[in-house]
Chains A and B, each alone.
Chain A
Amino acid sequence: MMIEELLSDQESLVEVKDLTVQFGAQEVLRDISLEIPAGQTLVLLGESGCGKTVLMKSIIGLIQPTYGQVLFDSENLSLLGDRQLSHLRLRFGFVFQNAALFDSMTIGQNVAFPLRQHGRFSDEQVREMVLSRLSEVGLPDEVVFKKPAELSGGMRKRVGLARALIMNPEMIMYDEPTTGLDPIMSDVINELIIRTRRRNPVTSIVVTHDMNTARKVADRVVMLMPTARLDEGESQVVFDGSVPELDACRDRRVQQFINGEAGERLMEMRSSQLN
Chain B
Amino acid sequence: MVIDARLHQVKKMSSVTPNNPIPRRPDEPVFSGDGAARTGLTGWFVNWVSDWGGLVLSAVMAVGDFSLFVLRTMIWLFTRLPRKETVWPNFYQVGVSSLPVVALTGTFIGMVLAVQSYFQFRQLGLETRLGGVINMTLVRELGPVLAATMLAGRVGSAMAAELGTMRVTEQIDALSAMGANPIRYLVVPRFLACLFLIPTLTVMADFMGVAGGHFYSVDILGIDIHHYWANSKKFVSNFDLFVGLFKSIFFGSAIALISCYQGFNCKAGAEGVGRASTAAFVYSFVAILVLDLFLGIALDSLYFTMYPEGVGLL
Contacts and interface: CB of A to CB of B under 8 A. Distances in A.
Nearest to B72: A82
B97 interface: no
A87 interface: yes
B98 interface: no
Interface in A94-127: 94, 96-98, 100-103, 113-114, 117-118
A109 to B, nearest CB: 10
B61 to A, nearest CB: 10
A100 B183 CA distance: 18
B57 to A, nearest CB: 12
A57 interface: yes
Interface stretch (B18-26, B166-174, B214-222, B245-253): B166-174
Contacts of B125: none
Contacts of A113: 178, 180
A100 B169 contact: yes
A62 B169 contact: no
A54 to B, nearest CB: 12
Given A86-B179, A86-B180, A89-B179, 16 more contacts: A82-B181, A83-B181, A89-B176, A89-B178, A94-B174, A94-B177, A94-B178, A98-B170, A100-B171, A101-B174, A102-B171, A102-B174, A103-B171, A113-B180, A117-B179, A118-B179
Contact of A89 (B72, B169, B177, B183): B177
A96 B173 CA distance: 9
A57 B173 contact: yes
Q: Which of B176, B178, B180, B181 has the most CB of A within 10 A?
A: B178
- Lowest 8 CB-CB distances: which A-B pairs, in order? A94-B177, A100-B174, A100-B170, A89-B179, A86-B179, A114-B178, A96-B170, A117-B180
Contacts of B181: 82-83, 86
A61 B173 CA distance: 10
A92 B177 contact: yes
A134 B176 CA distance: 22
Interface in A211-246: none
Contacts, number: 54
20 contacts: A57-B173, A62-B176, A82-B181, A86-B181, A90-B179, A92-B177, A94-B173, A94-B177, A96-B170, A96-B177, A97-B170, A98-B170, A100-B170, A100-B171, A101-B174, A102-B166, A102-B174, A103-B169, A114-B178, A163-B178
Interface residues of B, number: 14
B90 to A, nearest CB: 11
Interface in B165-220: 166, 169-171, 173-174, 176-181, 183
A60 interface: yes
Contacts of A57: 173
A252 to B, nearest CB: 31
Contact of B169 (A60, A98, A117, A118): A98
Nearest to B83: A116
A62 B179 CA distance: 11
Interface string B46-77: 00000000000000000000000000100000
Nearest to B175: A102
Contacts of B177: 60, 62, 89, 92-94, 96
A87 B169 CA distance: 24
A83 B79 CA distance: 11
Contacts of A82: 72, 181, 183
A245 to B, nearest CB: 31
A117 B178 contact: yes
Contacts of A96: 170, 173-174, 177
A87 B170 CA distance: 20
Interface string A173-215: 0000000000000000000000000000000000000000000
Contacts of B170: 96-98, 100
Contact of B179 (A87, A100, A102, A103): A87
Nearest to B79: A83
Interface string A59-95: 0111000000000000000000011001101101110
Interface string B156-171: 0000000000100111
Nearest to B33: A25
A118 B166 CA distance: 22
